[in-house]
Every structure is written in C-alpha cells, then in structure tokens.
C-alpha cells in the first residue's frame, strides 16, 4: 500500500520537475533532454497503470524518435539560445495567472466530485497484453489503423515538399 504511494509521489515529483526544467532552462537542448526524462517517467506511469505496450511505444516513439528529431532540428538550426531583446512584461503575469486558474479548476473538478474514481479493482493478468492490443487493433479499430498509415504517408510527403529548396528558374 504505502510502497505504491511512495513510488507514485517520487515519480510524480520527477515528472513535474522535468516539466519545469523544460520550461525554465535557457538552452533548448537542455529543454529537450528534460522532456525526454519526463516522457520516461510517464512511461513508468503507464507500466504502473497496466499498459506495457503503450509504455514501450512511448519510449520508442516519443523518447526515441520524436525527441531525437527535436534535437536534430535544434542543432541543425543552431537555435539553442534565443536572444531575448524584446520586452513582453505584461504577458508573463497574465499567463501565470491563467495557468493557475486552469490548474485550480481542474484539480477542483477531480477532487471536488467526491469518491468517484478512488477505487481501482485489480485486473486480470492478461489485461493489455500486446496480444490483446493487437487483436483489438486489427478487428474493431482496423479502419482507424489503416487511416493512420495514410496519415503518416501524407505527413512524410508533406515534409519532403516543405523542406525541398525552391528551384531557381531564371
């Protein structure tokens, strides 16, 4: 009982700290590395919630592919640090205030509704095994799965078109 809570709160502290580090670090490379740490802790949360397949997909796709793409673009552009010469002083307090309102509102919605979701029943041992996920993915969710492949293809073609240098026709 208590070990679960200690694990949860420790990991939650790491996740929130990594998110804060992502927000506050001046160097974009540090931000990307903090975000990778955050994704890794969220993957551990997925494991705790009984979703091993999603946890592995999270590590492979998010922490692996997507963040490597981010790091690659940051270093390609040389945009580690942005010169902050502008002054947007009035935006920052309003942003923090609005975020606090959002946070308080959602926390109130979650905990102010009583004991709606406080109990979790133990699930069967084959809950969310890769076999179960795959079976569901290829039966009930077959059409969305195929549409996702088309979406990825379109994104790939779109990226190639966007990146291609315009032809100098004179």
The residue with tokens 């949860």 is: 8
Q: Per CB under 8 A, does 127 bind other proteins?
A: yes
Q: Per CB under 8 A, does 74 bind other proteins?
A: yes
Sign of dihedral through CA atoms 108, 114, 118, 121? negative
Q: How far apart are CA 21 and CA 33, in angstroms?
A: 9
Contacts of 42 (CB under 8 A, 6+ apart): 15, 58
Q: Per CB under 8 A, does 168 bind other proteins?
A: no
Contact 38, 63 (CB under 8 A): no
- Token pair recorded at residue 145: 């799965």
Q: Per CB under 8 A, does 59 bind other proteins?
A: no
Q: Per CB under 8 A, does 75 bind other proteins?
A: no
Cβ closer to other proteins: 2 or 170? 2
- 2-31 residues near other proteins, rule: CB under 8 A: 4-5, 8, 12, 15-16, 19-20, 22-23, 28, 31
Number of chain residues interacting with other proteins (CB under 8 A): 82
- 142-161 residues near other proteins, rule: CB under 8 A: 144, 148, 151-152, 154-156, 158-159
């Amino acid at each position: 009982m208590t070990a679960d809570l200690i694990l949860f709160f420790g990991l939650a502290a790491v996740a929130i700290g990594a998110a804060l580090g992502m927000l506050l670090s001046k160097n974009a490379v540090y931000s990307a590395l903090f975000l990778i740490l955050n994704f890794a802790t969220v993957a551990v949360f997925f494991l705790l919630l009984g979703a091993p397949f999603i946890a592995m997909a999270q590590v492979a796709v998010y922490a692996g592919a997507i963040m490597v793409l981010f790091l690659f673009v940051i270093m390609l552009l040389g945009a580690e640090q942005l010169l902050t010469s502008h002054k947007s002083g009035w935006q920052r307090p309003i942003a923090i205030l609005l975020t606090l309102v959002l946070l308080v509102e959602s926390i109130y919605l979650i905990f102010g509704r009583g004991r709606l979701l406080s109990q979790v029943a133990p699930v069967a041992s084959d809950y969310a095994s890769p076999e179960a996920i795959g079976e569901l993915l290829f039966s009930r969710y077959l059409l969305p799965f195929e549409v996702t492949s088309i979406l990825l293809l379109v994104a790939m073609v779109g990226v190639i078109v966007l990146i291609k240098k315009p032809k100098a026709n004179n």
